[in-house]
Amino acid sequence: MALDNRLLRDLASNEKKLWYKEIEKIKNNSSLRQLFHIEAPIGFLGDPNGFSFFQGSWYLFHQWIPRKTKRKMVYWRGLRSKDLVHWESLPYTIDPDTKYDSDGVYSGSAWVDKGKLEFFYTGNVRNNDNEREAYQMRATLSENKISKEIIPAIKEPPHGYTMNFRDPKVWQQNGKNYVVIGAQTKEEKGCAIIYEASANLKKWQFKSVLQPFDHSIGYMWECPNFFELDGHQVFIFCPQGAEEKDLKYETQFPNAVVIGPKWTDNNLEWQLNKPKLSLIDEGFESYAAQIVQVESRTIIVSWMGPNKTILPTEALGWNGCLSLPRELSIQNGKLYQKPVQELKSLYGTKHVINFEQMAKFKTGLTSQFKVSFKGQGQVVWNLRAGNDNLGLLIKADLENNTLEVDRQSVFEKEINDRVKGDTSRKIKLELDNDELELEVWIDHTSFEIFIDQGKYILSGRIFTSEENQNCIFKINGPVEVKGTWHEIKY
Ligand code: FRU
């Protein structure tokens, strides 16, 4: 994959030598570099930001720490794509270079209006006493240059809220502009705050506090998205500190969704009766989802992080990746996610899968499967297995309607020790018919499983050796396995 020339240009000359060395190492380890997932050329990748469609292209930024510094110094790095599949790196970044964002250009969203692409984000500042300050910023792009201004009306959170106040997401509904921001009360309860913005987005006026539950959930909500989808209002957010009684999650923090009736411009009517929180992804790493709505499409991307352990690529100078873009819909009150149809352009040679007891074949490092299991019994499916390595294990039990994913064998022992047994996920499935369909996308260091037409998603990172290219199905009981798989051509 092409490395980022922008990065080389951006680095001060005394740093260049150092990074060249790092980049050399990256070239030599190409099997760990993703093929069709977004990664940073170097440094740490975090939340997706500024996801938008502007003048015929998709734009997608992400939190980026290009160099290790004492403080977490984040930038926005951006990419552009015509098809949501092939991305080119943008020749500019949004840098922490003003007094209002001197300790990080934190997360935020994009806004497309009157031929302009703009970004709203939180400027993170640590003052002389090392206390946090949070400024909501507007950045405008013009001829590959970024100009910034602070939004004067909200130099600080409303009274009663702490400086944990960040990640503005701008959206439009019924002709009005709104902004939702992740927040925390002085009592350390999570919530989000909605502002109504003027047509030119220069004036923001406090509108309401969005906290539709009948009790508090977590201590701080990050990365909110509030939008209408298929006649429902959907709130996607990251309630840090949520308790198991409200939401069962095994990731560090949850990437969560709650679906309600249509919002009527008056938050009091969005007090949900028995609101049900669920996870965007039942897997190992998923956080900070951001959506974009373009015409009738709603597309979501998440950060496949944070990781409970240090990833093997960190020693090589980079870390983190984004999920594949997924198309959202609501069916029977539940959020469905499907890989965007543009990803089909990655399909190379197609192979048919059809057997009754066992099959073993080689797939390479990147592939897409669509397989269905029908009958009563169990299937154990190894992906990216080696000669004496089990690879990723997908275990489907059609009698008990469970799906378990075990990735113990895809980490070096040293990593497994650090993860301390957190290497498997098991979910109970409510299937719509007697067939379990799985769509699985495998890239060099990640897997994404779309279960039952996207009703559940389970994804995560994997780090196997390059030799692990086998796919094995073993069946117990009367189960028919059918489907296809594609080699990926990029
Ligand atoms: C979520 C988050 C955001 C913040 C950003 C800083 O991962 O903590 O709330 O804006 O990361 O990198």
Q: Are strands 326-331 and 378-385 parallel, antiparallel or unpaired?
A: unpaired
From the CB of 285, is ligand 1 less than 6 Å away? Answer: no
Residue nearest atom 9 in ligand 1 by C-alpha distance: 222
In this prediction, residues 14-21 reach a mean pLDDT of 59
Q: Which residues pair with 488 in a beta bridge?
A: 347
Of 25-34, 53-62, 113-122, 296-305, minimum mean pLDDT range: 25-34
At 306, the amino acid letter reads: P
Ligand 1 centroid to 123 CA: how many Å? 11
Region 203-211: what's the mean pLDDT? 94
User: Which residue's C-alpha comes closest to atom 12 of ligand 1?
Assistant: 106
Give the residue-averaged pLDDT of 147-169.
94
Domains in the chain: boundaries:
30-339, 347-488
Q: Which atom of ligand 1 is nearest to the CA of 167?
A: 10
Catalytic residue (choose from 4, 10, 47, 443) = 47
- Provide φ and ψ at 306, rounded to 5°: -70, 165
The answer to whether residue 47 is catalytic is yes
Provide mean pLDDT across the span 382-387: 96
pLDDT of residue 12: 52
Residue 330 has pLDDT above 70, yes or no: yes
**223 Cβ below 6 A of ligand 1:** yes
Neighbours of 146 (CB within 10 A): 17
Using CA positions, which residue lies closest to atom 6 of ligand 1?
Answer: 106
Contacts of residue 225, defined as CB under 8 A and 6 or more positions apart, other chains included, come to 169, 171, 180, 234, 235, 236, 237, 289, 290, 291
In this structure, the dihedral spanned by the alpha carbons of residues 267, 167, 142 and 54, taken in order and rounded to 10 degrees, is -60
Atom of ligand 1 nearest to the CA of 122: 10
Kindly report the CATH number that applies to the domain delimited by 347-488.
Answer: 2.60.120.560
CA of 182 to the centre of ligand 1 (A): 10
pLDDT tens digits, residue range 32-79? 889 999 998 888 999 999 999 999 999 999 999 987 766 778 999 999
Nearest-angstrom CA–CA distance, 94 and 452: 39
**pLDDT at residue 136 is higher than 70:** yes
Cis, peptide link before residue 152, omega less than 30° from 0: no
Q: In the chain, pLDDT over 70 holds for what percent of residues?
A: 93
Mean pLDDT of the chain: 91
Tell whether ligand 1 has an atom less than 6 A from the beta carbon of residue 237.
no
Lowest-pLDDT range of 27-36, 136-145, 382-391: 27-36
Q: Is the CB of 62 under 6 A from ligand 1?
A: no
Question: From the alpha carbon of 182, which atom of ligand 1 is closest?
Answer: 9
The best mutation among 45, 61, 63 to test binding of ligand 1, ranked by most ligand atoms within 8 Å of the C-beta, falls on 63
Mutate to test the pocket of ligand 1, among 223, 225, 252, 286 (most ligand atoms within 8 A of CB): 223
Ligand 1 centre distance from Cα of residue 95 (Å): 15
Residues 363-374 have a mean pLDDT of 96
Which of 67-71, 301-305, 431-435 has the lowest average pLDDT?
67-71
Q: Would you say the C-alpha torsion 263, 265, 269, 271 has a positive or negative sign? A: positive
Supply the ipTM of this predicted assembly: 0.99
CB of 167 sitting under 6 A from ligand 1: yes
Give every CB contact of residue 330 below 8 A, 6+ residues apart in sequence: 229, 230, 231, 232, 234, 259, 336
pLDDT digits (tens, 9 = 90+) for 438-490: 999 999 999 999 999 999 999 999 999 899 999 999 999 999 999 999 999 99
pLDDT in tens, 265-298: 876 778 888 889 999 999 999 999 999 999 999 9
Going by pLDDT thresholds of 50, 70 and 90, the confidence category of residue 14 is low
145 three-state secondary structure: strand
- pLDDT-derived band at 23, boundaries 50, 70, 90: low
Query: DSSP class of residue 322?
Result: B
- Is CATH 2.115.10.20 what the domain over 30-339 is classified as, yes or no? yes
Ligand 1 center to 371 CA (angstroms) = 36
Query: Who wins on pLDDT, 131 or 27?
Result: 131
**Ligand 1 atom nearest residue 108's Cα:** 10
Residue 63 Cβ contacting ligand 1 at under 6 Å: yes
pLDDT at 1: 39
What is the Å distance from ligand 1's center to 222 Cα? 7
Which of 63-67, 100-104, 255-259, 371-375 has the lowest average pLDDT?
63-67
pLDDT of residue 432: 73
